[in-house]
Structure 1
């Protein structure tokens, strides 16, 4: 994986004005090379700086989400596989808010396309889906582009504290719904 990533970014560095376009396209292709989103965003910060790296990563991740929107409607088997994965991870009736999806995108081992599926279940039309996708990708692009180079220097206790903070944030951003059982709503005699 490291050799492919190094080769791709060496090509981007040498390409001059085409580097941002290649970087954005690389965000779409990285899933086929099994390169984590976080590594690509970190490399964007190194190649383009914090501001442009975040902007290019956000554009690339949004285009990836739009591509997912159209592809998932064509490939029912992929859709069914992601639904089973969602059911396994989050439960059958779980509906995640855009804020929860944004927090989960910050956790590197959570499947990016699975989160796109959760977003698609809440926002079925293209325009709201793209808007929610941009909003949920902003923290991911910003965090890993700006702070990505410093994450390697964090001690394990700091990483655990960050992970716990993300779990608490995920809990606080949940949709507050109370399920009333039939027996509770209509008490028996």
Structure 2
């Protein structure tokens, strides 16, 4: 465990530009790898500290949001699925304000791109979409980077347990996983 910690610190100190680029890249490919946003944000606090971690997280979140905007424009089947998710979670006639979206971004288990879709629906163009995305991404990046920096004070063993706990909880709260657990419990 100490070797991993030393390796991360060595990369951070000697290759800060490369580490920063890789961190932003992880934000961009995060949806493909099904990595929770919060885990990435906290990792930024652990590795880069508060200021640098927050800046890199906001850049990564904004790039991810811009890619989402492009996909929403080009893939109507993608937006149809998000509309269905929106109706299940918020109801058909419910309008969610940008302040509510900002607060919902702080909730760990609400789908990040569903909230991006709510912004997409409200925005009239890419510029307004980016402005609203930035408005909702900054508080999220600030809070979870601070938490990550606090976690950096923990021992490597406690940090590993915390990361595994976050991954386990995020897996268990998925709807299909909850249904499988429910079926398992009712069948026995």
Per the normalisation by structure 2, the TM-score is 0.71
Residue equivalent to 2:176: none
Contact 1:12 1:23 in 2 (8 A): no
Provide the C-alpha distance between the structure 2 equivalents of 1:72 and 1:11, rounded to a whole number of angstroms: 39
Matched, 1:145 2:139: no
Residue equivalent to 1:177: none
Larger Rg: 1
Residue equivalent to 2:43: 43
Provide the C-alpha distance between the structure 2 equivalents of 1:12 and 1:106, rounded to a whole number of angstroms: 30
User: 142-151 or 19-28: which moved more?
Assistant: 142-151
Provide the C-alpha distance between the structure 2 equivalents of 1:122 and 1:38, rounded to a whole number of angstroms: 24
The alpha-carbon deviation at position 73 of structure 1 amounts to 1.1
**Secondary structure at 1:124 match in 2:** coil
Residue equivalent to 2:116: 116
RMSD after superposition: 2.3
Residue equivalent to 2:99: 99
Q: Which runs of 4+ in 1 moved over 4 A?
A: 9-15, 149-153
- Count of matched residue positions in the alignment of Structure 1 and Structure 2: 146
Provide the C-alpha distance between the structure 1 equivalents of 2:54 and 2:45, rounded to a whole number of angstroms: 7
Residue equivalent to 1:67: 67
Residue equivalent to 1:126: 126
Per the normalisation by structure 1, the TM-score is 0.71
The alpha-carbon deviation at position 37 of structure 1 amounts to 0.4
**Secondary structure at 1:47 match in 2:** helix
Q: Deviations over 1:1-26 (max 9, x none)?
A: xxxxx9xx799647442111111111
Residue equivalent to 1:136: 136
Q: Deviations over 1:37-85 (max 9, x none)?
A: 0000000011111001001000100111111111111111111000000
Provide the C-alpha distance between the structure 2 equivalents of 1:11 and 1:38, rounded to a whole number of angstroms: 24
Residue equivalent to 1:81: 81
